[in-house]
Chains A and B, each alone.
Chain A
Amino acid sequence: MSEKGNADRGVSENCLTIENFSITLGDFKAENLNLKVNAGEYCIIIGPTGAGKTILLETIAGIHRLKTGRIYLHGRDITDMPPELRGIGIVYQDYMLFPHMTIGDNIAFGLKQRGVSREERVRKTAEIANKLGIGHLLGRYPQTLSGGEKQRAAIARAVILRPKVLLLDEPLSALDNTTRESLRRELKKLHNEMHTTIIHITHHFEDIYSLADRVVVMREGSIIQCGSVDEVVRKPDSRFIADFTGMENVFSGICTPAGNEAAEIDIDGLKIYAVSERIGDVNVGIRPEELIISKEKLTSSARNSVRGEVIKITDNGIFSKIAVAEEISGTVFTAALTKQSIESMNIGIGDTVYLTFKATAVHVF
């Protein structure tokens, strides 16, 4: 992930600084939260429902007032500045397109508030709409559009003002898989072209890998971890983060088509099969429960079978996790098994075992 990070873009200027942020809203409470986001950075926030992610975003936008603490944007104190003067855009999961306006008027809304001339509004609206592939929808009303189209319009409406920070609150969550995938690529493209600082809340694991320069993990009103994708996902500070991301077997590899919708992925010399049309650098994830562990090689319809040595067994209550180092590449797989199965199979550290899993269990992203 580091190759697309800040070092590459040469940006390290501080964009947004949140200091000692405390807020109370109804039942929700956040205390002493600190966060720094660099200019041009793509920052992803994850955390369970009720962690205060949306409230943090809305407070950055200026919707809620802080109890204590300061917010700085490019060194300027914006704590008491009303939202309309901050130059921070927000896009919600459920689009929030104004239903009484056409898509064109929705996208041009911000320009109109700034007194931009009609011709200029029309020109800029068409430009951004075409870029996002919704140029043909400008005369339509939001309720006639699909979810993906609506979200493109909502993103267009925010980025047309070239915000200093773009806040995305689960922008892809309401969409189906295919649409989510394509819109995710679109976001990445936009970010690369516009170099806008983005703070994006998500529940989707893939967003982190495809988009993030930095990951912030929140729980119950505090930030419990903040760092690069590698740091947060591969070296999670707490069980919570590991559980939250859910997918313990995450590896980087090179994907080549192997015909019939199948793909061969090379992970440091280990070749596994997946169902994907991707080519080139990819990440793969396999949930621990998808791995079938055995002492003898299984004959099954599952396409992947790897051999390795048990290096660690951790007891997690009902399930135990078995770490297996694959013999060619040293890749460490983690499988989940019940205690009883481990006992009945008589597996111990140092044993050689086989891991079998289906090509469809390999999640490519």
Chain B
Amino acid sequence: MTIRTKHHFSLFKLFCTGTALAAVLGLIVIFSGMVLYPSFNDLIDCLLSEEIRFAITLSMVTALISTFLCAVIAIPAAYSMTRFDFFGKEAANILLNLPLSLPPLVAGIALLIFFSPVLSPFGSFLASIGINIVYTSAAIVIAQFFVNTPYMIRSLRSSFAMVNPRYEHTARTLGCSEWNTFVQVTLPMAKSGLIAGIVITWSKAMGEFGAVLMFAGAIAMKTETLPMALFINMTTGDIEKSVAAAIILLVISAVVLVVVEHFGKDKGVEYV
């Protein structure tokens, strides 16, 4: 709850509020411009086209798998970084934050070189046993996973930090093992933050562009996720299809925002 005080007329207040409203208006105008650009029938046609349906399915599936993998790594890692002291924790902290400021393109090219059958020993080993990752849907999953895991660790850390460790201490004295305490007390108490973190990670995976472009390529009907569909159709001049892909990404963002808002609020429960 914010307390709003009644002000007398103030030019300063008018200026600041005016700027805020102008920014919101700008967002609305620009996005409605995009949404309204294609005719309704064209838009429906595009949304139902084989290419866009392929892109939706591919994005959904790769994002689900990569988010699941992110969570598998991020939940224990984030918990450990919140609760335990270990050798190299400071360094790990800095390294894990690096990808947050790093352009995903850089992560993409690093992955490309690491998995390349010609450029790296690991890649050639994989090739020798018949596994090729580069420019496949597996590369999409790996790219999304690689870029999003540090982000998810960071987000889950703050969720775990919200749970006072004394809840866990109490559970232990009541006969609960470390594992059971985590499952029965910590996870349920961090649930809201975990769900919010997972949903955001999923939507970030859906929209991942740079790393996927470098590592999985922009191959129509093969590694064509929604952002790739937007990009490919733009380069071929098929603006309606680009817009269709963009609108889906926009809707997903909006839904995620609502979900995060809902779970982020903790419904008035004080856990600390």
**A interface with B by C-beta (< 8 Å):** 58, 61-63, 82-84, 86, 88-90, 92, 94, 96, 98-100, 109-110, 113-114, 143, 157-158, 161, 163
Question: Which residues does chain B contribute within 8 Å of A163, judged by CB atoms?
Answer: 173
Q: Is the CB of B176 within 8 A of A113?
A: yes
Q: Hey, what's the 0/1 contact readout for B215-251 against A, CB within 8 Å counting as 1?
A: 0000000000000000000000000000000000000
Q: In the complex, which of the residues A62, A94, A110 contacts B174, with contact meaning CB atoms closer than 8 Å?
A: A110
A contact face: mostly helix, strand, loop, or mixed:
mixed
Distance (whole angstroms) from the CB of B161 to the closest CB of chain A:
16
Closest residue of chain B to A98, judged by CB? B185
Distance (whole angstroms) from the CB of B242 to the closest CB of chain A:
45
Query: What number of B residues sit within 8 Å (CB to CB) of A?
Result: 22
Q: Is the CB of B167 within 8 A of A98?
A: yes
Distance (whole angstroms) from the CB of B12 to the closest CB of chain A:
41
Q: Is the CB of A99 within 8 A of B180?
A: no
Q: Is the CB of A161 within 8 A of B175?
A: yes
Q: Is the CB of B188 within 8 A of A109?
A: no
- Answer yes or no: B170 CB below 8 A from chain A CBs: yes
Q: List 4 A-B pairs, minimum CB-CB distance, nearest first.
A: A110-B174, A113-B175, A83-B172, A100-B188
Question: Which residues does chain A contribute within 8 Å of B269, judged by CB atoms?
Answer: 99, 143
Question: Which residues does chain A contribute within 8 Å of B178, judged by CB atoms?
Answer: 82
Q: Is the CB of B172 within 8 A of A92?
A: no
29 contacts between A and B (CB under 8 A): A58-B169, A61-B169, A61-B172, A61-B173, A62-B172, A62-B173, A63-B172, A83-B173, A84-B172, A84-B175, A84-B176, A88-B173, A90-B169, A90-B170, A94-B164, A96-B169, A98-B188, A99-B269, A99-B270, A99-B271, A100-B188, A100-B191, A109-B171, A109-B176, A113-B180, A143-B269, A143-B270, A157-B174, A161-B174
- Answer yes or no: B268 CB below 8 A from chain A CBs: yes
Among B173, B178, B188, B270, which residue has the most Cβ atoms of chain A within 10 A?
Answer: B173
Closest residue of chain A to B269, judged by CB? A99
Question: Which residues does chain A contribute within 8 Å of B180, judged by CB atoms?
Answer: 113
Closest residue of chain A to B175, judged by CB? A113
Distance (whole angstroms) from the CB of B166 to the closest CB of chain A:
5
Cα-based distance from A113 to B180 in the complex (angstroms): 9
User: What 8 new A-B contacts, CB under 8 Å, besides A82-B177, A86-B173?
Assistant: A61-B169, A61-B172, A61-B173, A62-B172, A62-B173, A63-B172, A83-B169, A113-B180
- Answer yes or no: B139 CB below 8 A from chain A CBs: no
Among B167, B175, B270, B271, which residue has the most Cβ atoms of chain A within 10 A?
Answer: B175
- Answer yes or no: B111 CB below 8 A from chain A CBs: no
Q: Is the CB of A89 within 8 A of B164?
A: no
Q: Which residues of B, 164-212, contact A by the 8 Å Cβ criterion? A: 164, 166-167, 169-178, 180, 185, 188-189, 191
Distance (whole angstroms) from the CB of B260 to the closest CB of chain A:
20
Cα-based distance from A110 to B172 in the complex (angstroms): 9
Q: Is the CB of A96 within 8 A of B176?
A: no
Question: Which residues does chain B contribute within 8 Å of A58, judged by CB atoms?
Answer: 169
Question: Which residues does chain A contribute within 8 Å of B189, judged by CB atoms?
Answer: 98-100
Closest residue of chain A to B268, judged by CB? A143
Cα-based distance from A157 to B185 in the complex (angstroms): 15
Q: Is the CB of B173 within 8 A of A113?
A: no
Q: Hey, what's the 0/1 contact readout for B245-272 against A, CB within 8 Å counting as 1?
A: 0000000000000000000000011110
Distance (whole angstroms) from the CB of A86 to the closest CB of chain B:
7
Cα-based distance from A90 to B166 in the complex (angstroms): 10
Distance (whole angstroms) from the CB of A103 to the closest CB of chain B:
15
Cα-based distance from A158 to B180 in the complex (angstroms): 18
Question: Which residues does chain B contribute within 8 Å of A96, judged by CB atoms?
Answer: 164, 166-167, 169-170
Question: Which residues does chain B contribute within 8 Å of A94, judged by CB atoms?
Answer: 164, 166
Question: Which residues does chain B contribute within 8 Å of A92, judged by CB atoms?
Answer: 166, 170
Closest residue of chain A to B180, judged by CB? A113
Cα-based distance from A62 to B173 in the complex (angstroms): 8
Given A98-B189, A100-B188, does the pair A113, B169 have CB atoms closer than 8 Å? no
Distance (whole angstroms) from the CB of A176 to the closest CB of chain B:
19
